[in-house]
Structures are given as C-alpha cells and as structure tokens.
Chain A
Amino acid sequence: MAGIVTRIWRSIFTRPIKVEGERDQRRAVREWLALHARPVRVRESTLPFTHTFGLGGMSMVLVILLMATGVLLMLAYEPTPATAYRSIEALQQDYLFGGLVRNVHHWSANLLVAVALLHMLRTLVTGGFHGLRRFNWVIGLSLLAGILAANFSGYLLPWDQLSYWAVTICTGMLGYIPLAGPWLQGLMRSGQEIGASTLVMYYAFHTTVIPVTVLVFMAFHFWRVRKAGGVVDPVPPDPDSDAQPGYVSTLPNLLMRELAVGLALVAAVLVFSVLVEAPLAGPANPGMSPNPAKAPWYFLGFQELQLHFDPLFSILIVPILGAVFFLAIPYIRYAPELSGPWFLSPTGRKTAAIAAIAGAVATTAMVLVDELWLHSISDSVAPVLLRGLLPLAIICAGIAGFRFYLVRRHSPAGAEQVQAMAVLLLSCLVTLTIIGVWFRGAGMALVWPWQI
C-alpha cells in the first residue's frame, strides 16, 4: 500500500520537495514548473526593495486577485439592465462575504491602475528602456491600455447611476473625433444609446477578451525582462574594473522577498476592503443625470482637459501627442544610455524634481486663469483657435522654453532631458486628475474638496 502512494507521489513530484543547500535551491528553480520562469541566480545589487518597490510583482499579484474574485463575481452577476443592479444587491446580501469579494475586486482594480502607473514611472526614471528593453516599454504601455480597458468596461457592469453616466460621458467624448467619431461612438455603445446590448458587450469583453489579452501580454512582458537579464542594475558593472558583479541564488533571496511583498499586498487589500465599501449609487436612471457626473478617476484628467480645450483638441490631438511622446521614449537616440540608479544621476534628480514642481504649478495656474478669467471673455468665439491652437501653441512654447532653461542652467544629458520632460507631462496629468477628483463640484464648478 505504501508503495503505491510513494509511486504516485513521485510521479507528480520527481524531486524531493524539501530544499536543502544551494545546489538543491538552484535545481528547484530550474526544474519546478512554477519557478522555472525565473533565472537560477540574480544580481545581488538588484535585490533591495527600494530599487523597484516590487511594483511589477505587485501588479501581477493584483491581476491574480482580480481573476480569482472576478470568477466568483461572475457566478452571482446577471448582465442585463433589468437584473444587473439587483444581482449586485443580492451578491452583497445573500452570498457569504459577497460584499467583501466585490470590494476586493473593486479596490484591486483601482489599485492596479495606480501601481501600474508607478511601475511605469520607476522604469522611466531608472532608464529601463534601452537596448534589449526597448520593445518591452511598448508592451508595458499596451498592458497599461489593457488595464484601463478592463477598468472601464468593468465600471459599467453594476448598472448604477455612477456607471451609467460615466460611460455615457466617456463614450460621448468619442463623438467629437472627426470623421470616425459617430461610428466609433456607435461601436463603443453598441447602438445609439447605452442599453442592453452595450452591457452584454462590455460584460463579454471584461470577462474574456481583455483578461486573456492582458495575461498573454504579461507573459510576453516577463519573457522580455528575462531576455534582457532581469531588472535594470542600480550599480551598473564598471567596465574598467575586473571585479565580477555579485550573484546570489534566486531561491531564497529573490523569491522570499517577492513572497513577502505579495503577501503584504494581499493583506493590505483585504484590510482596506473590510473597512471601505466599494461605491454603489442608486440604480441607473437614463432620465436623470447626477450632478456632478464624473468619469472614473483615471479618466478625470481627460475630463478636466475637456473643460479647457475645444473637444477636437482635448479628445484627439492632446492625447495623441502625449501617447506619441511616451511611445517614442525608447526610440530616441541617447548618448550615453543612462540607466540604473533612481533618476539616473544627481543632475537627473534635480531636473526631475524641478519638472514635477513646474508641471504642477503651471497646470494649476493655467486651470485657474482659464476658469476665472478666460472663460468669461472667450465664450463661443472661434473655439478651434481660441480654445485649441492658441493654448496648445502657448503650452508647447512653454515646454520648449522650460527645456531650454534646464539645458542652460543644469546641462542635463539627453536621457535626463527626456526624463524631465516625461516627469513634467506626468505631473500635469496628475495635477489635472487631482483637480478633477477633489476640486470639481456641482456643474463641474471649481470648489474646495470639503464642499463636494
């Protein structure tokens, strides 16, 4: 009897599970399915938590958490306008920890957007997009787009006032794109207005196409990191010295750190979800827009842009210019290709800090000037010029002038200039988002956060 059990056990686990000594540890990483995607040994200098803050690994943990809770939610959810809202209420009342499962899904999804953005920022300011990593930057941006698509499609599903009007406004913006706008809007609404077919389409994409695509791109992303030799080394090897960079075994040095970060993250999400309920407004009512009607927070920067630019600029031209800049970052020629420590160098640190402050101050100032002064004089006079070309030209001139100032004053290398420009743009986006979330009240008027 014991013989058969041993034989079955050994057929599943061909090696002893207990790992003792470095030889065993290396063999385990190489031969266990779950671990074999990792290298056997890693650079010791890449291990400190503050080099990457584990942001990439955190994103993966959140995706796993989202898939696990997502499958549970699918068992309770009914994707029709008549039943969707009621099925969410039933989930919170009749299922064991139903509300908690929904909270974990909701907060993980929101956290994932923030963590993925921070991961992008970390890659940017440690120069993790040169050489072999070039295309991986693009894959990473695609993953960010996939995460936003997943968040946005999931936002509609509860079919409450928040989701109905957020999706109405966001798809309404598409209508302003020249030529293809109405067609694109019809496609994204699956009809003239948001209804049963919209909900079914969003449900299908949210639960199948988007997560599968994200998973495939994740595998691609990790594979490219591995091919590039792991994460960027904060202490690049000195070509003039003979000292070999120090390597340590992945198990336990890297895997235990990852496990610690992952478990801490899951614990944090759970505690937060126990304490804070995911929002659920009243059932969707197409006859009554709530005031204010806002897009989900990750699109509020764009909605804020809406208030200051002609739609053609705020919906099409400005986002395209931003996207082109971020996609182009790895394809610009850099000499030298700086990478490694945070913000690349003391000069890089200084210029990035100046750019972050300049972006926040300039954005706040422009919003205030437009809101309090320009709005009263420029209403409906040649909007494409006054609320489009002219402000865009002024902003571009401002950015160029800022770069000129940085070069004259701090003489940063090419990589540090691009870093400063990217930080400047991100700082503008973050400032717009903060204004949209906390400083816009009824009728999208500027208010203090406690007046909302």
Chain B
Amino acid sequence: MNTPQTRRSFLGKLWFLLGGVALAEAFWLAGDFLRPRNRRTRRGTPSSIIVAGPVERFETGTVTAFREGKFYLARLDDGGFLALHRECTHLGCTVPWRQDEGRFVCPCHASSFDIHGDVLSAPAPRPLDLFSVRIENGIVKVDTTSPLKRNVFDASQVARP
C-alpha cells in the first residue's frame, strides 16, 4: 500500500535529511581535526636547506651523519655526493653506518644497504630515500624538504662537484 505524499510526510523526511547533514558535518569536523598537519617548512625556504660544508671536507668513500637534517652525506669513491635519508625503508628505524663493513645495517630487522643506499639484504623493499644535493661554489647544500623515493640506484642521482 502506498501512502500518499503529504506535506507532513515530506517535512518528516526533510527532518531526517537534515539530521543526516548534521551528522555528516560533525564527521567532517572531526575528520579535519584528525587530519595530519604538515608542519614542515616549504620547499626552498632557508631553514629546510642544510649547508653541509665545502666539498674538500668530505673524503671519498666516507659517510657523514647530519643529525638535524636526518640524513647521511655519502661521498662516493668517484667523488660524487648522495644525501641518504636515515630511515630504513622497511619500517622506519634509523640505520647506522658501519665504516668497517662499508654498509648501513638496520638494527630492527637486519636490512642492509651499501654506500649508494641500494639494498644488500631484505626485508627492506627499496633503497634508502634521497634528498637533493646541490653544490654551489664548492659548498655542498642539501634540501631536506621531502625525501625522494626510488626503486634502484642510478648514476643520475649523484651530485658531482
């Protein structure tokens, strides 16, 4: 049996609709409060660029940690530079550099990476993330705005003086 549409039944449905809208607004509001805020500084602003120092300070085949920028500056044997994000790509532990073994070894699940950040042993799924390196007038600068993901190391990622 179809009850005929009356003004009363229409207004009743309207109330339900309004209730639904109010609920949606409440969820929208709560969702916005939970939304992660990106408190990092914008790309290219002075505070996101870390001045690592003059090229000559870094010997070839060494890795230098930069605590405030959360990266390692690796100087390859051919003199090129790579800025490697210090977070393991598996679950985000901080990977220390072992100079004697010549590789990064994650303390959490034993992933290891070579000086290019390439994976030597799993479970890490991809090489260490990169920050872009610029060399201006013999000074190495690293932009730490956002880490760059990559699937494999290739020569174009290296900054050369």
B90: A residues at CB distance < 8 A: 172
A287 contacts chain B at the CB level, 8 A cutoff: yes
Any A CB within 8 A of the CB of B139: no
Which among A173, A190, A443 is the interface contact of B36 at CB below 8 angstroms?
Answer: A190
**CB closest residue in chain A, given B91:** A172
Given contacts A169-B91, A186-B36, A197-B39, contact A291 B125 (CB under 8 A): no
Select from chain B the residue with minimum beta-carbon distance to A443.
B110
Indicate which residue in A172, A288, A289, A379 contacts B121 across the interface (CB closer than 8 Å): A379
Interface size on A, residues (CB 8 A): 34
Do B122 and A379 touch across chains, with their CB atoms under 8 A apart? yes
Check B92 against A307 for contact (C-beta < 8 Å).
no
Judged by DSSP, the binding face of B is loop
> Does B43 sit within 8 A of A, measured CB to CB?
no
Give chain B nearest CB distance to A292 CB in angstroms.
Answer: 7
Q: In the complex, which of the residues A288, A383, A443 has the most CB atoms of chain B within 10 Å of its own CB atom? A: A443
Cβ–Cβ contact B94 & A289, under 8 A: yes
- The verdict on A237 contacting chain B, using a C-beta distance below 8 Å, is no
B105 — which chain A residues lie within 8 A by C-beta? 443
A275 at the interface (CB under 8 A from B): no
A169 touches B92 (CB 8 A): yes
Nearest Cβ distance between residue A440 and chain B, in whole angstroms? Answer: 10
Is there contact, CB below 8 Å, between B34 and A190? yes
Q: Counting CB contacts under 8 A, is A191 at the interface?
A: yes
CA A257 to CA B90, docked complex, whole Å: 51
Per the 8 Å Cβ criterion, residues 84-131 of B in contact with A are 86, 90-96, 105-110, 119, 121-123, 125
User: How far does the alpha carbon of A181 sit from the alpha carbon of B108 in the complex, in Å?
Assistant: 21
Q: How large is the interface on B (under 10, 10 to 19, 20 to 34, 35 or more residues)?
A: 20 to 34
Interfacial chain B residues near A291, Cβ < 8 Å: 107-108
Q: Is the CB of A168 within 8 A of B92?
A: yes
Quick check: is A187 within 8 A (CB to CB) of the other chain?
yes
Residue A261 lies at the interface, judged by CB distance under 8 Å to chain B: no
State the Cβ distance, A48 to closest chain B Cβ, in Å.
Answer: 47
Min CB–CB distance B29 → chain A (angstroms): 15
A residues near B93, Cβ cutoff 8 Å: 165, 168-169, 289, 293
Q: Given the interface contacts A197-B37, A379-B122, does A173 sit within 8 Å of B110 by beta carbon?
A: no
Q: Does B7 contact A (CB under 8 A)?
A: no
Is B2 positioned at the interface, with any CB of A under 8 Å from its CB? no
B contact residues around A311 at 8 Å (CB): 123, 125
- What chain A residues lie within 8 Å of B38 (beta carbons)? 191-192
Q: Are A187 and B34 in contact (CB under 8 A)?
A: yes
Asked whether A380 lies within 8 Å of B108 as measured between CB atoms, the reply is no
Q: Is the CB of B39 within 8 A of A293?
A: no
Contacts A289-B94, A380-B122, A383-B122 known; list 6 others, CB within 8 Å.
A165-B108, A189-B36, A190-B34, A201-B34, A287-B86, A443-B108
Nearest 10 interchain pairs by C-beta: A172-B91, A291-B107, A289-B93, A443-B110, A172-B92, A293-B108, A191-B36, A186-B36, A169-B91, A289-B94
Q: List 12 A-B contacts (CB under 8 A).
A: A168-B91, A169-B93, A192-B38, A197-B37, A287-B67, A289-B93, A289-B106, A290-B107, A293-B108, A306-B109, A307-B109, A442-B107
B residues at A contact (CB < 8 Å)? 34-40, 67, 70, 86, 90-96, 105-110, 119, 121-123, 125
